[in-house]
Amino acid sequence: MKKLTRVLKISLILFICLIQPGCLGKEYPNGELKIFCWGEYLSDGTANSLNVIEAFEKETGVKVSVVSTFDSNEQMYAKLKYGSVEYDLIFPSEYMISRLIDENMIQKINIKSLKNYSGVMQSCKGSVLGYDPTDEYSVPYTWGTVGLVYNVPLVEELTGQKASEVVKGWSALWDKRLEKEIFMFINSRDSFAIAEKLLNFSLNTTNLDEINQAAALLKAQKPLVQAYIMDQIFDKMANNEGAITPAYAGDILTMMKENENLAYCFPEEGSNMFVDGMCIPKNAQNVENAHKFIDFLCRTDIATENANFISYSTAISGAWENLCEEIKYSEIAYPPENIKQKCEIHKYLPKQINTHIEEIWTQIKN
């Protein structure tokens, strides 16, 4: 759920290395690993951070030969199901983990082989939240909430009101005074969740009438939307090219660092909490190395490096203690209990409901 630039650079370097003869020779005696994850989701060595991939390679003798990125769960699913690359490790969100289990697209993880698994927070596990009832198919990596980030001076210029009075909840994304200054998620599940929360419905509703009401609301919003995007939002908001957007908490923190005009709002109607996990595809060729990398990311020092770099909330309990103060005590990254109580977690919806939502969403955003 992060910008792609740095990871694409890493991917290019790894690709060049991969096509060179002998790249997996004596320096990497223990084979390779192919990763499919959100953009900029691993600490890469920039800004005085640890290059987690290089550290893993040096410690294990395993070559991370591919780092491909996706910007939505649906994009990841399509490439995993129909693409030509066989990945060893993926990072889907909770509702997609449930879908992958249901469709037999991921395999069980040997939890007993993970030395650092004891540090995984119970509150993030699938058995607690319901997305992986037996905790056999996934290991939590990060978690967070979805909120609003807005450009204070631009909102005030366009509305003639104090920005904090305009942006109180999801309804701000339907404010006609902000026409063509609004960004919206490109993926169906997050966008429908926003409309459903605004209508006081569950974001997991399977009631077709409620889903259709949400669709009508999203259709009405379309003339106000400048673009339906995901990772491009970083540059757009950094360059003052829009007034308001929904975003994941970790991304909000990153955007606010880059542009002092930006502010955060947790929607008064409530929102969703997500968990991104680590899973091994059914057709993975390097299963042992996937286990090694999962265990590596669960290690407290590595989890700390990653959490400090990507600004997402860590699922490793010991890592929080060592986070930088800016993130450790951020109510955006680690919201108080009253905020978390207003959140729902996405559940995997029945196939016919998913199909219905996808068909409507394709018509709306195109």
Calculate the CA 200 to chain-centre distance: 24
Query: CA 286, CA 217: separation in Å to the nearest integer?
Result: 46
Instruction: State the DSSP code for 150.
Output: E
- Closest to 34 in 3D by CA, of 3, 79, 1, 74: 79
Residue-number span of the structural domain to which 203 is assigned: 145-273+340-365
Of the listed ranges 7-11, 86-90, 139-143, 295-299, the least confidently predicted one is: 7-11
Does the model's pTM come out above 0.85?
Answer: yes
> What pLDDT is attached to residue 4?
42
Q: What are 31-54's pLDDT values in tens digits?
A: 999 999 998 899 999 988 999 999
Same domain, 91 and 213: no
Q: What are 304-317's pLDDT values in tens digits?
A: 999 999 999 999 99
Same domain, 325 and 198: no
> What pLDDT is attached to residue 40?
86
> What pLDDT is attached to residue 23?
52
Residue 274: phi and psi, rounded to 5, are -115, 160
Same domain, 119 and 149: no
Same domain, 139 and 18: yes
Same domain, 77 and 185: no
Give the other-Cβ count within 10 Å of 122's Cβ.
11
Label the pairing between strands 139-151 and 271-278.
antiparallel
Same domain, 94 and 174: no
| HSE-up (13 A, CA, CB side) for residue 266 | 20
Query: CA 225, CA 290: separation in Å to the nearest integer?
Result: 40
Same domain, 232 and 349: yes
Same domain, 189 and 237: yes
Number of folded domains in the chain?
Answer: 2
Same domain, 180 and 299: no
Q: What are 179-212's pLDDT values in tens digits?
A: 999 999 999 999 999 999 999 999 999 999 999 9
Same domain, 154 and 185: yes
Contact 143, 311 (CB under 8 A): no
Same domain, 97 and 161: no
| HSE-up (13 A, CA, CB side) for residue 233 | 32
**In this prediction, what percent of the chain has a pLDDT beyond 70?**
93
- Model confidence at 24, pLDDT cuts 50, 70, 90, reads low
User: Which domain CATH number covers 194?
Assistant: 3.40.190.10
62 Cβ contact list (under 8 Å, min separation 6): 28, 30, 31, 32, 33, 56, 286, 289, 292, 293
Residue 299 has pLDDT above 90, yes or no: yes
> What pLDDT is attached to residue 26?
65
Query: DSSP alpha helices (H): ranges in the chain?
Result: 5-19, 52-60, 73-82, 94-102, 126-129, 152-159, 163-166, 188-198, 208-221, 233-238, 249-258, 287-298, 300-310, 325-328, 337-340, 351-365
Residue 85 has pLDDT above 50, yes or no: yes
Same domain, 134 and 283: yes
